[in-house]
Every structure is written in structure tokens, then in C-alpha cells.
Chain A
Amino acid sequence: MLTRAYRFELNSSRVPIGEPQLEVQDVSLRFGGIHALSEVSFTVRRGAVHAVIGPNGAGKSSLLNCVSGLYRPQSGRIVLHTADEDGTRREHDLASSRPHTIARLGVARSFQNIELFGHLTVLENLMLGRHIHMKHRMFPAFAWFGPARRQEIAHREFVEEVIDLLQLQAFRHAPVGSLAYGIQKRVELGRALCIEPSLLLLDEPMAGMNAEEKEDMARYVLDVNELRGVTVMLIEHDMGVVMDISDRVSVLDFGRLIGDGTPDEVRGNQAVVEAYLGVDE
């Protein structure tokens, strides 16, 4: 009998809750003479919602791009901790890895400007998120029989659980390009989840949304984190949302880390207040 409880794990990290999962160590990134990031260091712990905030141009997206391998920092290390089934720990330096290797390590991300395939349906976009887990040879895949078929059905089941979790049922067969912005953002989150992330990077998941959509998205992010155990690192502008849902907040300003702590600590941090509200001169 098909029960209502989910059968698949979304989280793929075996690092115990509370231990360091991602360590950003003295990362610096320059574009010519511009210092996008200067010696930034902080730690994301397994099971947390870790927010990175800062004014426009502070280097938030650059940092996320370094973690996902799109940019290569000039100096510093970005260490991802993983654990094997038997508990053996491994360390991977993301700063010197290619994006596809990083994706295989379970680092999934969504983009600030939606990067979906507009002409494909929601279902197809999500199935593409499963791509790195599909292993079939060319002929069975073309003919769609035997193992290839069984595998695709198993992946579809996984995708359907994500659709259920994010309540995308009504849009399953709709081309993504025809959907409202808020729904597309949800599909982006869904595709990242289909990778079975060990670490989920969200680049401004609530940008451009109205209050109701933001509340929904915050709910989904919390569900993914609290109920499905996925570590989330997110960039967000909406301070209300950040302070509500984050366990830990790192603040960037002009590429430097000016604050790092719990939401309450950051709220009381003078440098952060000045960066956000300006200083009387």
C-alpha cells in the first residue's frame, strides 16, 4: 500500500547534525582591480539555515558562485566535509573543483535570475534535476526498456514527492515559461532538491515576491530544512525573513565579513547596523 509519508530522503549528507559541513577559509576573489571578496571566513554547520546578507554589491552572489564552482577564488580554501556510509570523513576543496564535480558532491543551488528551461514542463525540468543520478547506457535509454525504464520510473517517483512537497501538482505539465514568477522560483527550488543535496544554496529565493509568496517560500525552505534535514545556505535581502528563518547569519560589506552570529547577535552588531542604515558623518 502506498502510504502518505515520503519514502525518499532529500538530504544526502551523512555528516552528523551540528558539525562543520562547509568551511570558507580566507577566501579572496578579485576581478581585475576590484576586490569582490577579501579574506572571508565562516563555517556552515550541518542542519542549519545559514543566511548571507549584505547591501548590493557586497559580494554575496560571488561567494555563492565560488562555492558552486562558477568562480575560482585567487586565494583561500572552501572545504566541504562529507562522510561515507561507514562514517569515514572526507574533505573536498571546492575552490579548486569544477562545477560538475561539486554538483556530484551534492551541492545544489538555485539562481537569483531563474535559470530553468522555459519551454520544458515543470516535470521535465525536475526530471533534469535527477540527471546526475541517472545511469543508463545509450541503447536502453533510447529504446526505453528494462533497467532504463525502471530507473526512470524510480526517478519519477522521487520527483513526484518533490512536487507534493512544494505543492506543484497543478503545474506538473505546464511549460515553466508560462508560469507566474513565484511558481517558477518554487520550481527552481524543486530542481535543486531533485539533486538530493547535501548542501542547498539558494540565491535570493524570495526576491521579487509579494508578502504571501514570501511566506509560502519561507515555509517551504523551513520544511526542507527542519523536516527533510537539508542544510541550507541562502542569500536574502528581506531582513524580516532572514531573521525569522535563519539559525546563523553572516554579513558581508564590500567583500569583507563584518558580522557572523545568530540573528540576535547580528542585529546588535554596530558594524552591521552602519552598513545597512548608513553612518552619520
Chain B
Amino acid sequence: MSLRRRAAGAPVDLADQTFPRLLARQVAERPGAVALQEKRYGVWQPVSWQEYAARVRDFGHGLASLGVGRGDIVAVLGDNRPEWVIAELAAQSIGAAVVGIYPTSLDEEIVHVLTTAAIKVVVAEDQEQVDKLLKVKDLVPHLAHVVFYDPHGLETYEHEWLRPFEEVEEAGRAWGEEQPAGWFEEQVAAGAPDDIAVICTTSGTTSRPKLGQLSHRNLLAMAQNLTGVDPLGPDDRFVSFLPLAWIGEQMIAVACGLAHGLTLSFPEDAATQRNDLREIGPHVMFSPPRIWESMLSDVQVRIDEAGWLKRKVFGWGYAVGDRVAAQRLRGQRPGLADRALLRVADWAALAPVRDQLGLSRIRRAYTGGAPLGPDVFSFFHAIGVNLKQIYGQTEVCGIAVVHHDDDVRFHSVGVPIPGTELKISDDGEILLRSSSVFRGYVGNDEATAEAVSPGGWLHTGDAGYLDDGHLVVIDRAKDVLTTPTGTRFSSAFIENKLKFSPYVEEAVVFGTEEITAMLVIDPQTVGAWAEGEHLSYTTYTDLAAKPETYDLVAEEVHRANADLPEEIRVRRFLLLFKQLDPDDDEITRTRKVRRNVIAERYADLIAALERGDPRVRVSNKVTYQDGTVTKRDIDLRVLDLEGYRPPDRTKQRPVWSSRR
């Protein structure tokens, strides 16, 4: 599949713009084109740029009538809907900033954000979110108004806080008419590029989330630099299904979206995302690794269920695609014969799979936030999806380093985007400087001073090195450990090698002398494997305790060990009886393991792993949804890999199948 290149779009300098001014520009240029669309009642309901701007104006007036002014912060708590971005642009139009709260957040996180940012107005989605806010109302004295956009179930609520979104728009319209003519336009014109536009929470694996402030200039400079490498155009579509509270979604959906006039599509429901993605067929995507991994497991499960002919055809087509992709990634041009074969393979095997995944129009797909396994990377390149790694963090608008087309190396994260300086400090930390470096944390000057040096360098806190101009990230600098023999390594480095196995969902590694690991199996892939092996099981706990499952994972660990230096190979492991759950605080909402929680909760298991006990007993408390609590004792096995020999097998498991 060839990659169409476009002339780089915007003639204006984005770094001197603001989001509301870019919205006005889109309205002036293409008032009737579709800006947003949401699937409702089974039909995509379009909103043109003109309608979008009109609703932004009304809601902006409405926010002003509720007492929001320049420099204030408005919070949005809910799933991705047109109202989310309307509220965002409305706040920015009158000089306020927006902070997104993850819709899955619980009381403590919500209170933390609302009090830190002194929020007066929250735009909440529905009854669920309103209930959460009402529950903590005594802890958030600043909060004066809650505006909700999905009224279902709220009809009978009576609280002076609450108002429906449409009522605020209407009130805003009336309020706007009382203002002198051109009030709104003046507000938009008064907004400066250095005003704070968006506040994103950092994921906080170690402490409470910090609120990073990003200005219009920060975000638009990023958009300009990114699209300088990877152009976007007004015909391009984007499906917005990851939380808008996440910098990655703000970066493409809002910043690049307004700069280049992308059409944003909002899925109907969390359960229909995949299907809606397929209906839209976006041109660009940015998702964390788990999305790509789950797409691959989906393909694996479905191909394993297909008949032998389909498996054969796909196997052949995949082999062709994989070979050509490997040539391209090495910078070679595939030969005539290979290109001809690829056309056939694409038609017969690869294009249908891309279509099933909703990737048939995709020009560029990005992954970021965590490392992605080489297996997953090569799978997407083989089926013709241009998947590239992004490296960045909230403090630098989500992106600083990216793979360039046809220069994708799976172990690196690419090269800096234009306008970005990168250097490695003497102690191995990655430092970045660009006009996208953030404007500090809300109410935490100390942390800001630690993050940005007076010279404007952002201390990422990540350890890394340069390899032929490409940046390679090791891990968070404070997590880098040293073995007794002096080898520097990080637990995450080993964990990622383990997680590259499709059967391993999470891995937590302990120790410096003898490396041990606590593994969490992926119920989908291991379940499908068990089905293929005619292995019956009842629950997740049962499946994870099966000796056959241990054997399966042992082989995978053995394979991961082969990639690791002798001193840091995994010696022992156990399979945890449950999945890690954000509701239990074991993992963050963006699925990063909270090591301190794990260390405390599973201290017995970890001690047994270290001692090398063959078995360990734990008692587990389960709270069911109806509130009943049961306690069970579980006997877990610790498998020692000392002297382990993998069973002889002539055939390796292909990437696209969970069968051997």
C-alpha cells in the first residue's frame, strides 16, 4: 500500500493562533462541511462547522452568565460527545481553560481535580457522573454549577446545582443578546496564544495526578510540527473514542482537528466502538498499545475459528505482506515480483482484515504511552497499516518524538519532530526543549521547577539513549536498577518483554539478584487456546491455576528470557488468580501498574517468590456486585525455570494465531 503524501496544509502560522480563532477560520472557509458527527439512534448525526460554532457561542455566553470568566477553569466529566468539545471551545472562547476528568474516575480523584483547579462549573455527562458529584458535594465548596448533557434519569433530580446543557445554551443566547454587539468576538480576539487552553492530568502511577497546563501556543505548535512530518487534510476523518481528558486525544482530535479541519466522529456507545470505527474508517488514529494489542487478539481469535482454507490463504498473504514490509522498513524498495505478489495478497487476505478492523482508509496509525511488542508492530505493518511509535508526555503536549514513514524501527521511538530539541543528560535522562513544553502544574510550583529547568529544558524523568539518531527509551530514570554484577536494567524492560507474549496481560517483576515475576494471563487469548486444547475451566482463577496454563506461560517466559542478558532472566514466576483492576487501585485508568499497591497487597506472594517456595497460600476477599463478600483460600504454584527445557516443537506459533 503506497502512502499518499499531501501538500502541507495551513498557510497561517499556527503558533500565533488560538483554538477559538481557528474555529472561526474553519467556519469562514467551509461553513457547511461536517465538523462533528455522533451516531445516535443508529444514524450518524452531522454537525456542520457553522452549527458547531453557533453552539460554542451560545454555551460560551451561558458559561459567562454562570460567572465563568477569563482565567477560570471549567471541568468536563464524561464520555466523548459533541458537547465535550463544544464546552471546551466555549470555555476557551471566553478566556477560560478546560480540564478533562476521566469518566471512570472515582470520588477521591474527582475531588482532587476539582479542588486543585478551584472549579466553579463542571460539565458532566449523565446521571452516573452527576451522582458522583452530588456524593462529594461537601468536599468541593467552590463548585457552583453542574451542567449535564444527557438528561436521562435526571428528570426527577432537584438540586440548585443542576442544569441541562441545552438550558444553559438557551440562557446564554438570551444573555448574549443583552451584551453589546460583538461581545463574543471581542472575547475571542482578546484571547492570547499564551493563555492556558487545556489542562491534562498526568497519569500518576506514584502519586496523585498533577494538572499540567498547556497553552494554545503549546498545542498548536505541536500540531504544526507533527503535521509538518505527517500532513493531515480537511477530508480526513478521526474517530474520537479514547477519553478527551487524555492528552493524546486532545492532541489529534482538538488541536490537529481545528488546525486542519478534521471531521470528528463520536461512537454511539462504548459497546459499539469497534463497529462504529469500521463504519467511519478513519484516516488517522492514535491509541495506546492496548488497543492495538486487542485488535491483534481479535484477529487471532477469529482466524483460529476460520476454516482451513481461510487460514491457508491468510497465512500465505501474511507471509508476503510481512516480507515486503520488512524490506520497506529496511529502506529497500521491494522488487517487481514482490510488488505483484503483494497486490494479490492484499486483495485476497490483507485488505479484508484491514476492513474488519476499520483500518481500510488509515494512512497513519500511532501508538504511544507504553512500549508496543515487536510482534504487534510487525503484524500491523504486514497487513499494510503504517503504525508508528510516538514518544511524549503530557508536559510536552503528548508528542516530541515520532517514527518517520518508512523509517520505523520497532525498538526505538523515532526521531524528534521539527522544532524539538532533544538531548541526553549526563546521568542518562531524556531532556526536551520546544515551544510545546507546558506552562507548569496548577498550584504546584515546586513540581514545575523540578520538571522544567531555567533554560527551558523539560526533564522527562525517562532514561534513554540515542541509537543512530533514533531515541531509545529504557524506562523511568528512577526505576533503573543495577544487578550485583553492575548491569543496569529496569523492571519495566523485563516486564515488557514478558508482555509481548499474547498470553500475558500484565507482568510485575521483582528482585535484582534473582529476577522473579508475577504474571497476569490474558483471559481472551488463553481462553481461546484452552478451547483449542479441549481444556475445560470454569473461572479466570481456575484457568490461571491449570498446570497446562503454567506450561504454556513457561514457554513464553523462556522465549522472553532468550532476549535478555543472562543476569536479568526471569528465574521464577507465578500466575495471579485475578486480573489487575483500576477499581482496586492496582492499575491506573490508563493501565499502568501501581507497584506500591501491588507490593503491599501481594506481599506474601512476593516473599514466596523471592524465597523460592514451590507453593503459596493466599486468602482472597471477593466483593460481588450485589455487595456480598466471600473469602476464599487459594493455593498458588510458583514455577522455577532453573533447568527448564521447552518441549520440542518443529513449528513456531505464527503472530496471527494463538494456535501452534
- Assuming the contacts A4-B149, A169-B272, asked whether A163 and B625 have C-beta atoms less than 8 A apart, the reply is no
Within the complex, what minimum Cβ distance (angstroms) separates B300 from chain A?
22
What's the Cα separation between A211 and B625 when bound, in Å?
A: 7
Of the candidates B41, B152, B269, the one whose C-beta lies within 8 Å of that of A160 is B41
Which residues of B lie under 8 Å from residue A167 when comparing CB positions? 269, 271
What's the Cα separation between A160 and B269 when bound, in Å?
A: 13
What's the Cα separation between A170 and B40 when bound, in Å?
A: 12
> Could you tell me the dominant secondary structure of chain A's interface residues?
helix
Which residues of A lie under 8 Å from residue B42 when comparing CB positions? 123, 160, 163, 169, 172
Give the bracket for the number of chain A residues in contact with chain B.
Answer: 20 to 34
Give the bracket for the number of chain B residues in contact with chain A.
Answer: 20 to 34
0/1 string, A151-180, CB within 8 A of B gives 1: 000000100110111010110100000000
What's the Cα separation between A17 and B130 when bound, in Å?
A: 28
Contact across chains for A215 and B626 when beta carbons are under 8 A apart: yes
What's the Cα separation between A227 and B275 when bound, in Å?
A: 30
Besides the contacts A123-B42, A170-B272, A172-B42, what 4 more A-B pairs have beta carbons closer than 8 Å? A2-B40, A4-B152, A164-B40, A170-B269
CB proximity to A under 8 Å, residues B256-284? 268-269, 271-272, 275
Q: Is B624 part of the binding interface, using a Cβ–Cβ cutoff of 8 Å?
A: yes
> Could you tell me the dominant secondary structure of chain B's interface residues?
loop
Residue of B nearest to A160 (CB): B41
Q: Is A223 part of the binding interface, using a Cβ–Cβ cutoff of 8 Å?
A: yes
The 5 closest A-B pairs by CB, nearest first: A160-B41, A170-B271, A211-B626, A169-B269, A170-B272
What's the Cα separation between A78 and B491 when bound, in Å?
A: 73
- Assuming the contacts A157-B41, A211-B626, A215-B625, asked whether A3 and B272 have C-beta atoms less than 8 A apart, the reply is no
What's the Cα separation between A227 and B625 when bound, in Å?
A: 24
Q: Is A143 part of the binding interface, using a Cβ–Cβ cutoff of 8 Å?
A: no
Which residues of B lie under 8 Å from residue A165 when comparing CB positions? 152
Q: Is A144 part of the binding interface, using a Cβ–Cβ cutoff of 8 Å?
A: no
Residue of B nearest to A4 (CB): B150
Q: Is B155 part of the binding interface, using a Cβ–Cβ cutoff of 8 Å?
A: yes
Within the complex, what minimum Cβ distance (angstroms) separates B48 from chain A?
12
Contact across chains for A212 and B269 when beta carbons are under 8 A apart: no
Q: Is B156 part of the binding interface, using a Cβ–Cβ cutoff of 8 Å?
A: yes
Within the complex, what minimum Cβ distance (angstroms) separates B273 from chain A?
9
A-B residue pairs in contact (CB < 8 Å), sample of 12: A1-B51, A157-B41, A163-B41, A167-B269, A167-B271, A169-B42, A170-B272, A211-B624, A212-B625, A215-B625, A223-B153, A227-B152
Which residues of B lie under 8 Å from residue A160 when comparing CB positions? 41-42
Q: Is A6 part of the binding interface, using a Cβ–Cβ cutoff of 8 Å?
A: yes
Q: Is A264 part of the binding interface, using a Cβ–Cβ cutoff of 8 Å?
A: no
Q: Which of B41, B45, B151, B153 has the most chain A CB within a 10 Å cutoff?
A: B41
Within the complex, what minimum Cβ distance (angstroms) separates B353 from chain A?
21
Contact across chains for B153 and A227 when beta carbons are under 8 A apart: yes
CB proximity to B under 8 Å, residues A110-144? 123
Q: Is B166 part of the binding interface, using a Cβ–Cβ cutoff of 8 Å?
A: yes
CB proximity to B under 8 Å, residues A197-228? 211-212, 215, 223, 226-227
What's the Cα separation between A231 and B149 when bound, in Å?
A: 28
What's the Cα separation between A215 and B271 when bound, in Å?
A: 19
Residue of B nearest to A226 (CB): B156
Which residues of B lie under 8 Å from residue A277 when comparing CB positions? none
What's the Cα separation between A104 and B309 when bound, in Å?
A: 53
- Assuming the contacts A160-B42, A164-B41, A211-B625, asked whether A170 and B275 have C-beta atoms less than 8 A apart, the reply is yes
Within the complex, what minimum Cβ distance (angstroms) separates A166 from chain B?
12
CB proximity to A under 8 Å, residues B265-320? 268-269, 271-272, 275
Which residues of A lie under 8 Å from residue B156 when comparing CB positions? 226-227
Residue of B nearest to A219 (CB): B153
Within the complex, what minimum Cβ distance (angstroms) separates A110 from chain B?
22
Which residues of A lie under 8 Å from residue B166 when comparing CB positions? 3
Within the complex, what minimum Cβ distance (angstroms) separates A184 from chain B?
16
Which residues of A lie under 8 Å from residue B269 when comparing CB positions? 167, 169-170
What's the Cα separation between A170 and B274 when bound, in Å?
A: 10
Q: Is A5 part of the binding interface, using a Cβ–Cβ cutoff of 8 Å?
A: yes
CB proximity to A under 8 Å, residues B109-159? 149-153, 155-156
0/1 string, B605-638, CB within 8 A of A gives 1: 0000000000000000000111000000000000
0/1 string, A223-248, CB within 8 A of B gives 1: 10011000000000000000000000
0/1 string, A1-39, CB within 8 A of B gives 1: 111111000000000000000000000000000000000
Which residues of A lie under 8 Å from residue B626 when comparing CB positions? 211, 215
Which residues of B lie under 8 Å from residue A226 when comparing CB positions? 156
What's the Cα separation between A240 and B151 when bound, in Å?
A: 29
What's the Cα separation between A167 and B268 when bound, in Å?
A: 10
What's the Cα separation between A157 and B275 when bound, in Å?
A: 21
Which residues of A lie under 8 Å from residue B625 when comparing CB positions? 211-212, 215
What's the Cα separation between A167 and B272 when bound, in Å?
A: 11
What's the Cα separation between A62 and B153 when bound, in Å?
A: 34
Contact across chains for B624 and A6 when beta carbons are under 8 A apart: no
0/1 string, B158-177, CB within 8 A of A gives 1: 00000000100000000000
What's the Cα separation between A167 and B149 when bound, in Å?
A: 17
0/1 string, B22-49, CB within 8 A of A gives 1: 0000000000000000001110010000
